[in-house]
Amino acid sequence: MFKELKEINSRPAPFQFYTAEELWTNEHTAQQMLQYHLNEDVDLSSRNKKFIERSVEWIVSRFSVNDKTEIADFGCGPGLYAKSLAKRGARVTGIDFSENSLRYAKEVAGQEGLPIEYIYANYLDFETSKRFDLIMMIMCDFCALSPEQRKIMLGKFYSLLKPGGSVLLDVHSLHFFNQREESATYELNQLNSFWSPDDYYCFVNTFKYEEEKVTLDKYTIIEETGTRVVYNWLQQFSKESLLEEFTVNGFEVDGIYSDVAGTSFDPESQEITIVACR
């Protein structure tokens, strides 16, 4: 037992393990994630409904979205942004790793007669001959990627943009990082049975990496049938580090905001939104 507890509480190197598939392809957790996406009152998997409406209006205005605008929504989930932008005439392609979320998104698009193309893929591997006026990655998905994966994504974004096209994405700030604390807890059926329909114990270890400005929530899920571990990494950025990450990858920064609804940048904001152009 001592050996098992030592392993549960062990601190890996930053981004040492990548377990995104566990969240998005496990049938039970994928269904739980979809329910969080569709809860219009909270900001967990998706923004709340009122914020999304305000955000879409700003995006339409900021990027002059019309019926000729080609948009790629990386990590589109159940299509909440894609649907709203398509209703305003945009030609939207949604890419996501969750087959469950895409199934829902396709059903909604079909019911509402929206010609959205949804693609089931890990966006790190996504390829297409299309070129886009706007590429979005919203809800701080960029933070979950390692430095190497972020470099891959920025190279992909650059190649997929039309000349003069833009990238819009948000990240967690250092203010968010500074508010996190290291902790270790365990609970029976943690998060209201999020991880399994059967009984389980979940150990949650939160680690902070001061030098790298990275946090990790490490979930060790112990069921009668076995044990699995899920790593939820988050890179946090200063305004300067985010600007540098884009400029060294060939982008020209066209705007910095506090959120994807165009709120003026506040150094105390928990998030930073960037608009960068090819």
Question: What's the domain range around 144?
Answer: 49-172+239-277
Residue 163 CB coordination number (10 Å): 7
Structure token digits, residue 119: 């693609």
| Same domain for 165 and 191 | no
| Same domain for 159 and 66 | yes
Model confidence at 233: pLDDT above 60: yes
| Residue 39 β-bridge partners | none
| pLDDT of the residue at 45 | 47
CATH code (residue 82): 3.40.50.150
Residue 191 CB coordination number (10 Å): 13
d(Cα 5, Cα 22) in Å, to the nearest integer? 22
| pLDDT of the residue at 20 | 83
Cβ burial, residue 127 (10 Å; 0-12/13-18/19+): exposed
| Same domain for 224 and 186 | yes
Give 66-96 pLDDT, tens digit per residue.
999 999 999 999 999 999 999 999 999 999 9
Give 8-25 pLDDT, tens digit per residue.
999 999 999 999 877 777
In the chain, the number of structural domains is: 2
Residues, the chain, total? 278
| Same domain for 101 and 138 | yes
| Same domain for 184 and 72 | no
Determine the distance from the C-alpha atom of residue 61 to the mean position of all C-alpha atoms in its chain, rounded to a whole number: 23
For range 202-226, the mean pLDDT: 97
For range 213-233, the mean pLDDT: 97
d(Cα 264, Cα 262) in Å, to the nearest integer? 6
d(Cα 208, Cα 183) in Å, to the nearest integer? 10
| Same domain for 259 and 131 | yes
d(Cα 175, Cα 269) in Å, to the nearest integer? 7
